[in-house]
Amino acid sequence: MLDDFLIRAALAGVGLSLATGPLGSFVVWRRMAYFGDATAHAAILGVALALAFDLPVTFGTLVVALAMAVTVATLAARGWAMDTTLGVLAHSALAFGLVAVSFVPGARTDLSAWLFGDILAVSRADLAYVWGGAAVVLALLAWRWQALLTTTLNEDLAHASGLDPARERLILTVALAVVVAVAIKVVGALLIAALLIIPAAAARGLSRTPERMAVLATLLGAGAALAGLQLSLWQDTPAGPSIIAAAAILFALSAMFGRVRRG
């Protein structure tokens, strides 16, 4: 019989994958990897502010991640050089967050959990946040799926179809902020972007349609979460990094399979 904390951890990993699979596909298609990093790194500042003002950590990370995502999206729309801008914002947000955490009594000892995740300590309330956040992200993406695909394919085509690319970017921005807020307890701020990108990248070479890629990315993400938990229990390794390591192995296997299939 599995212990309750293992069941909660497995459910958290699977629930998070429901959101990171389809959203990660858009991150890969739109080359938003560094955008995800900047948003995730800003979450540490949200953790510090939430602890300082005795607010729910999920709320604090959501507000700060959303503020960072909107800032980046606004600068991108104004033509700023994104590689440099994202580099400055991502590392500055992480640095300010780490400095702010140092002023919060008792927070230093818990810092590694926010940086690398602590999925084995997920509570029932955390589980509700994860599945609730995943439901919000899935609803947003399902609602605007075709519009998001059209905008991703070609913004001129989106304009011709009566769509507003800026609005679609905002929807992705909100979805990304929600994922960051609910994922920080599972894999930590430093690894959220990896959970978005790696399963989607693994699914890309095995899929012929966007819908199949999103579904396969979800399955690979869930498989990586369960395999990472098993590795963590088996070898006593950190759970968050173990999940990302399992995802990386799945990516390598998918790349080899894709090469054999093409050959």
What per-residue confidence (pLDDT) applies to 263? 58
Q: What is the mean pLDDT of the chain?
A: 87
Q: What span, in angstroms and rounded, lies between the C-alpha atoms of 35 and 90?
A: 8
User: Could you tell me which of 88, 110, 117 has the C-alpha nearest to residue 189?
Assistant: 117
| Residue 231 and residue 237 in contact, taking contact as beta carbons nearer than 8 Å | yes
Virtual torsion, Cα 94, 100, 104, 108, nearest 10 deg = 40
Residue percentage of the chain with pLDDT more than 70? 95
Q: What span, in angstroms and rounded, lies between the C-alpha atoms of 182 and 212?
A: 25
207 phi and psi angles, rounded to 5 deg: -125, 145
Two tokens at 197?
A: 């990108």
Length of the chain in terms of residues written = 263
Domain ranges of the chain: 4-255
| Residue 1: band (very low, low, confident or very high) from pLDDT cuts 50, 70, 90 | very low
What per-residue confidence (pLDDT) applies to 10? 93
Examine the pLDDT at 156 and tell me if it is beyond 80.
yes
What per-residue confidence (pLDDT) applies to 108? 59
Q: What span, in angstroms and rounded, lies between the C-alpha atoms of 9 and 228?
A: 11
What per-residue confidence (pLDDT) applies to 229? 93
User: Region 119-128: what's the mean pLDDT?
Assistant: 89
Two tokens at 114?
A: 């926010």
- Element counts in the chain: helices (H) and strands (E): 12, 0
Pairwise pLDDT comparison (224 vs 6), residue with the higher score: 224
Q: What span, in angstroms and rounded, lies between the C-alpha atoms of 4 and 28?
A: 35
H/E element holding 143?
A: helix 124-143
Alpha-carbon radius of gyration of the chain: 18
What per-residue confidence (pLDDT) applies to 110? 65
User: Region 13-22: what's the mean pLDDT?
Assistant: 95
pTM of the model: 0.89
The CATH number corresponding to 4-255 among 1.10.3470.10, 1.10.357.140, 1.10.620.20, 1.10.40.30 equals 1.10.3470.10
Examine the pLDDT at 113 and tell me if it is beyond 90.
no
